[in-house]
Amino acid sequence: MEFLREMWEDRVMFVPKYTITNKILKNVGIAEAAREIIINAPLIPAWEAKFRKEALERTVHHGTHLEGNPLSSEDVKDVLEGQEIVARDRDVQEIINYRNVLRFIDLVQTQIGQSGAYSFTLETVLEMHRLTTEKILPQGVGQFRVRQVVIKNSKTGQISYMPPPAVEVPYLMEDLINWINSDEAKQVHPILKAAIIHYETARIHPFTDGNGRVARAVATLIMFLDGYDIRKFFSFEEYFDENPMQYYLTLQAVSNQLVLDTHERDLTPWLEYFIEGVAIELNRVKEKVQRISTDAKIRDKLGEQVMLNERQMLIMEYIHRHKGLSNKDFRKIFPDHSDDTVLRELKFLRQKGLVKKSGGTKKAIYVLK
């Protein structure tokens, strides 16, 4: 072991190899433009809370579904709200655990934010793994793997990727942490840095299980620490989960490049894929924010902030998107509520001067005032 450490200390520190392509530049530009709109959107507190809640739900659902968790988005919402559902204990525990990981990310961001600088540590990564696999793994929780593992195609049984030997894991992770804290890394754009860290963590495969969730969590935390939390409205896991095969194949294609030294792998294809996903997700959020951007005008007009409940916000968002709401649309938004309930919410919105009604009772159309 001592010989291995001495040999490792003689190595050149991890330096990612990649090319800044036109595709990368284009999508970083799209992400930056969307970010600017999102962070400067004057959302009233109720909308902001709703967006963050939805982003957390999407992150937990898609982040675990990507790894094979079968629970639906509705099941995930119920679990996060403390309701009991009919499901395997392990599947429910994965949801709870990933929610705890996101809470830990918020805690770390808050603590480090108070100091104004950060030094990323191995302990942070190990704690993320402990939270990810708590009550799931029988052993190795919050610990690096101590045996060789392989990634197999679940259908063919063929080995698709063989991670580095277990004995190298601590040194590889230490190498990555040193790069994260280096002056060079501080000059890298937060999205690009997050993509690099996600790839390298997944490549090293430091744990027996939970590597994907930890890799994405570390990437998210790094973006947040670099001031790129974007009001916590986004979830890039949804983009990955829309086409899981592309996600895994892109990672494996880079990892399986035939090179003499692992640091000679060209990360460009993965970076293009990752950054495109961030751009798509931020654009989604931007469009949603723009649909309710008139809230600021409403607030200025009324001279006060209007606190809306969940149903009222859904009505406002529907009217923003479709330019109007008719009685026949009630069922689309509220299949489990009576027409009288919807009419009461509309009455409140009309009294506040947010919505106006045109047409007769049966053919009434509600639009923004």
Tell me the pLDDT of the chain (369 aa) as tens digits. Answer: 555 555 555 555 789 999 999 999 999 999 999 999 999 887 767 678 888 999 999 999 999 999 999 999 999 999 999 999 999 999 999 999 999 999 999 999 988 866 667 889 999 999 999 999 999 999 999 999 999 998 877 667 788 889 999 999 999 999 999 999 999 999 999 999 999 999 999 999 999 999 999 999 999 999 999 999 998 999 989 999 999 999 999 999 999 898 877 778 999 999 999 999 999 999 999 988 876 765 555 555 555 656 677 788 788 878 877 888 998 888 888 888 888 899 999 999 888 888 899 887 678 899 987
Tell whether 298 is covered by a domain. Answer: no
CATH (domain of 213) = 1.10.3290.10
Q: 195 and 125 in one domain?
A: yes
Whole-model pTM? 0.81
Task: Quote the number of domains for the chain.
Answer: 2
Structure tokens of 266?
């060209």
Q: 205 and 322 in one domain?
A: no
Which one of 291, 322, 338 terminates a domain? Answer: 291
Tell whether 300 is covered by a domain. Answer: no
Q: Which helix (H) or strand (E) holds 19?
A: none
Distance from C-alpha of 358 to C-alpha of 345, rounded to nearest angstrom: 16
Tell whether 5 is covered by a domain. Answer: no
- Axis crossing angle, helix 268-291 with helix 310-322, rounded to the nearest 10: 100
Q: 125 and 74 in one domain?
A: yes
Q: 113 and 199 in one domain?
A: yes
Tell whether 302 is covered by a domain. Answer: no
**144 neighbors 170 (Cβ within 8 angstroms):** yes
CATH (domain of 349) = 1.10.10.10
Tell whether 27 is covered by a domain. Answer: yes
Which one of 224, 259, 291 terminates a domain? Answer: 291
Tell whether 183 is covered by a domain. Answer: yes
Q: 125 and 184 in one domain?
A: yes
Q: 340 and 273 in one domain?
A: no
Q: 133 and 158 in one domain?
A: yes
Tell whether 248 is covered by a domain. Answer: yes
Q: 276 and 326 in one domain?
A: no
End-to-end CA distance of the chain: 73
Which one of 264, 291, 318 terminates a domain? Answer: 291
Q: 269 and 324 in one domain?
A: no
Tell whether 253 is covered by a domain. Answer: yes
Q: 229 and 133 in one domain?
A: yes
Domain residues for the domain of 327 are 308-368
Q: 206 and 350 in one domain?
A: no
Buried b (16+ CB within 10 A) or exposed e, 139-150: ebbbebbeeeee
